[in-house]
């Protein structure tokens, strides 16, 4: 076993061991040494983080731009093996699922990000969760969560990817509902679990289609050899990686992996589109994209370190990782790429609009996460290597500043007696200087201001969209598609089903939408910052009289994350350096080799900077000081004046005016009362027709729509949840009445018969003798009358 193999095994093994120790002996140890489970978790995650960085270094040293991409695949054991599976369909091979881990550029990058942020969150939790009666249980769940995520990004098989995909979902359910005695937390955990099951159905269906289409569920190629054994022919399957694939020629004995094929070997058309859309549905569930975004804001009911872990390093990044890993499949279906881009763009806009009016600091950050994940999907949907690498670049930088902001919000919540409503506190920079300074750096990074990390990754996405739209606009109209780099697609390659002009206009619309979302990001981010840390010092009663800065165990991770949120973008900028590294991932190498040089778009960057500064200035104008301007703006967009001007009862009030009454009396004196009544009813009808849309606008005003989250929860309750509850109640009644009723009837029938025959058991010998005689006579009578002689 070489060094890379040891690191691959150590990274998930350490958190798994910590989860077992904390879960099995944690209750006993915690009674003697209260924080021992926290130290076990921190040590395990720290070891995993160290191994991840060492693995990153090993893989970096093995990368050679002039050679095949480096990857290492190790098989631990065979989990399932079904021989002769080809009998199900001629194109299939034996169905075999092995627990196989891989190490390549994409995996190493994800492992570094996941373990580093998770370690800091664990350190932070030592102070935040101090005193909780289930202290040991929290760290057991966190360790299990990190183990599941590290396995998810390390496995080299779709079946195992789905297994740990589900494991991540289960861990999120346990952590979101950690305070299960709190009804809101229990409901939020159940909501997250059920909504994710909708996406997981799509993911599972995609796996069936991949198996039937490509005959394999492995990412990697495998060499199949047959040898004569004692029980007959024995098959040996050896994974092929960069250590041995130079000596192997693809032949009938080689089982090709799904993600290691030449681009020309992927199915196109309807099959490719359906596979990609089902994978997208699964990713939308995990990464909280429209229409499955509703679970993520409610997840704020869990402990704040859980929010940071879910939003920055683990669960929501799983969907982005899966789509990136499956890029060869998506590249075979440009229509699916367009759908990914549209879903991401709409979700980014939706999250930004809702975040503008939320007063819960953690919910502002939750909708910010939804919006930023939309940005990432927008990059992945561009359909070029520049867009894919930009989406992953933003995932990487976003992990640091979003973890920083959530942990900063947790620090505020900890100091304010677990109050998180921004209307109840303010001016906290005076008593929480470290939290204030680090939170400000996180806000600058999230807003995308130069030179903070968010600037480099967000502008890389916007630049890739602009480049895509420009290429589509200037393509030779003899074809219907474009390849990476702007070349015209040939007829043998995948093409758009829509005209190029339409696709180009869609991508241009997404480009302007991304710029507008950048403006919204700056506004809602600094709205939260100004409301929390500026103005007069105000603290809620729950904070007591001596609200103060959080302990060092909580502020130290904030400082570390603030440094990374500030510098990580510059350290790996420009995008071409980051893209050059992940481009050496086997499943992305064909896109990287065939792509043109990734450029830094200065015009896009300058436009973005100006937009961000305008957004920050607007937030400062509205929310610094007494926030009178913000209140005035809220009244304007809440549109109460529509309802006052065009009320349903306006005509009724008008009828009571004195001059109207005099006109009616004079008309009645002239015998024209009927005309006055008819005229009044006609005017009332006109008033109702005119006022109805405006009353609706007053009810669904822009401000109210944003504050009520566009009524998605109410819509889903009415259209999905309640019908399902009615159907469940009906089926439950059928089950109780008919199914259980029939079973119970069969069980009660002997008791009923026994109760009917019981009176015959009188205990009198003459009665028994009489019964025997009468029974004998009945039998003789039946024999004589009915039975043939």
Contact 406, 304 (CB under 8 A): yes
Those residues with Cβ within 8 angstroms of residue 102's Cβ, 6 or more apart along the chain or in another chain: 8, 71, 72, 73, 74, 154, 155, 156, 219, 220, 241
Residue 318 has which token pair?
A: 């799983």
d(CA 597, CA 320): 24
Question: Which ranges constitute the DSSP H helices of 63-134?
Answer: 105-128
In which band, very low, low, confident or very high, does the pLDDT at 659 lie, cut at 50, 70 and 90?
Answer: low
Q: What average pLDDT score do residues 493-502 get?
A: 79
Residue holding tokens 């040590």?
43
Give per-residue pLDDT as tens, 682-736: 766 776 676 666 556 656 678 888 888 888 999 999 999 999 999 999 999 998 8
Q: Cβ atoms within 10 A of the Cβ of 730, count?
A: 10
Those residues with Cβ within 8 angstroms of residue 311's Cβ, 6 or more apart along the chain or in another chain: 296, 365, 366, 369, 402, 403, 406
Domain extents for the chain? 1-220+296-316, 222-255, 377-573+595-636, 640-700, 710-785
Give per-residue pLDDT as tens, 728-764: 999 999 988 888 888 888 888 888 888 887 777 777 7
In which band, very low, low, confident or very high, does the pLDDT at 39 lie, cut at 50, 70 and 90?
Answer: very high
Give per-residue pLDDT as tens, 560-569: 999 999 998 8
DSSP state of 595: S
Residue holding tokens 């739209």?
469
Radius of gyration, alpha carbons of the chain: 33
- Residue 291's pLDDT is 92
Contact 199, 292 (CB under 8 A): yes
Contact 382, 334 (CB under 8 A): no
d(CA 23, CA 9): 21
More confident: 72 or 89? 72
Give per-residue pLDDT as tens, 225-257: 555 455 544 555 567 665 554 444 444 466 778
Q: Round the average pLDDT of the chain to a whole number and report it.
A: 84
- Residue 38's pLDDT is 92
d(CA 144, CA 135): 15
Cα-Cα-Cα-Cα torsion 525, 527, 532, 533, nearest 10 degrees, comes to 90
């Amino acid at each position: 076993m070489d060094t890379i193999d040891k690191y691959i095994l150590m990274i998930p093994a350490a958190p798994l061991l910590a989860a077992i120790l904390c879960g099995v002996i944690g209750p006993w140890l915690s009674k003697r040494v209260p924080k021992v489970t926290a130290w076990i978790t921190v040590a395990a995650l720290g070891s995993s983080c160290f191994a991840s960085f060492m693995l990153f270094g090993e893989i970096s040293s093995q990368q050679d731009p002039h050679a095949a991409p480096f990857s290492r695949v190790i098989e631990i054991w065979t989990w399932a093996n079904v021989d002769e599976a080809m009998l199900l369909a001629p194109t299939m091979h034996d169905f075999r699922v092995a627990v196989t881990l891989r190490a390549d550029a994409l995996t190493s990058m994800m492992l570094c990000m996941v373990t580093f942020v998770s370690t800091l969150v664990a350190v932070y939790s030592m102070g935040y969760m101090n005193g909780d009666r289930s202290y040991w249980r929290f760290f057991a769940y966190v360790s299990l969560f990190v183990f599941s995520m590290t396995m998810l990004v390390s496995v080299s098989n779709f079946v195992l990817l789905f297994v740990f995909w589900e494991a991540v979902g289960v861990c999120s359910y346990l952590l979101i509902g950690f305070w299960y005695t709190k009804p809101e937390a229990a409901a939020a955990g159940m909501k997250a679990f059920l909504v994710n099951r909708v996406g997981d159905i799509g993911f599972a269906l995609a796996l069936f289609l991949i198996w039937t289409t490509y005959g394999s569920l492995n990412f990697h190629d495998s060499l199949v050899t047959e040898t004569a054994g004692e029980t007959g022919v024995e098959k040996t399957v050896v994974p092929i990686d960069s250590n041995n694939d130079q000596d192997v020629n693809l032949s009938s004995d080689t089982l090709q992996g799904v993600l290691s094929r030449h681009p020309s070997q992927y199915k196109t058309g309807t099959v490719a589109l359906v596979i990609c859309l089902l994978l997208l549905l699964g990713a939308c569930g995990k990464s909280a994209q429209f229409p499955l975004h509703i679970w993520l804001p409610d997840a704020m009911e869990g402990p704040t370190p859980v929010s940071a872990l879910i939003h920055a390093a683990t669960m929501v990044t799983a969907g982005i990782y899966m789509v990136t890993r499956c890029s060869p499949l998506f590249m075979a279906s440009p229509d699916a790429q367009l759908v990914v881009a549209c879903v991401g763009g709409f979700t980014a806009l939706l999250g930004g609009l809702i975040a503008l009016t939320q007063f819960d600091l953690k919910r502002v950050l939750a909708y910010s996460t939804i919006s930023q994940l939309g940005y990432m999907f927008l990059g992945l949907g561009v359909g070029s290597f520049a867009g894919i690498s930009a989406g992953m670049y933003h995932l990487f930088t976003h992990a640091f500043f979003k973890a920083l902001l959530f942990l900063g919000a947790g620090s505020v919540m900890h100091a304010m007696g677990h109050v998180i409503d921004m209307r109840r506190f303010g001016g906290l920079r005076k008593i929480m200087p470290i939290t204030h300074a680090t939170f400000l750096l996180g806000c600058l990074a999230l807003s995308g201001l130069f030179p903070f990390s968010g600037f480099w990754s967000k502008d890389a996405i916007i630049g890739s969209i602009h480049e895509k739209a420009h290429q589509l606009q200037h393509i030779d109209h003899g074809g219907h598609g474009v390849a990476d780099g702007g070349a015209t697609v040939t007829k043998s390659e995948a093409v758009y089903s829509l005209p190029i002009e339409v696709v180009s206009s869609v991508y241009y619309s997404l480009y302007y939408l991304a710029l507008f979302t950048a403006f919204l990001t700056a506004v809602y981010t600094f709205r939260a910052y100004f409301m929390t840390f500026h103005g007069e010092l105000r603290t809620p009663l729950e904070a007591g009289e001596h609200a103060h800065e959080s302990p060092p165990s909580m502020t130290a991770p904030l400082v570390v994350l603030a440094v990374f949120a500030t510098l990580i973008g510059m350290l790996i900028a420009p995008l071409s350096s980051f893209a050059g590294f992940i481009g050496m991932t086997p499943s992305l190498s064909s896109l990287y080799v065939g792509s043109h040089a990734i450029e830094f778009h200065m015009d896009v960057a300058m436009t973005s900077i100006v937009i961000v500064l305008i957004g920050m200035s607007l937030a400062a104008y509205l929310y610094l000081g007494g926030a009178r301007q913000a209140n005035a703006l809220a009244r304007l967009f809440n549109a109460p004046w529509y309802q006052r001007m065009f009320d349903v009862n306006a005509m009724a009030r008008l009828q009571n005016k004195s001059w109207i009454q005099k006109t009616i009396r004079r008309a009645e004196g002239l015998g024209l009362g009927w005309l006055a009544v008819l005229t009044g009813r006609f005017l009332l009808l006109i008033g109702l027709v005119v006022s109805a849309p405006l009353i609706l606008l007053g009810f669904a005003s822009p401000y109210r729509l944003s504050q009520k989250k566009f009524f998605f929860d109410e819509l889903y309750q009415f259209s999905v949840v309640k019908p399902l509850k009615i159907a469940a109640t009906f089926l439950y009644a059928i089950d109780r009445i008919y199914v259980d009723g029939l079973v119970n009837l069969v069980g009660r029938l002997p008791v009923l018969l026994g109760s009917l025959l019981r009176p015959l058991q009188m205990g009198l010998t003459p009665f028994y003798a009489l019964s025997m005689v009468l029974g004998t006579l009945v039998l003789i009578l039946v024999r004589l009358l009915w039975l043939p002689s």
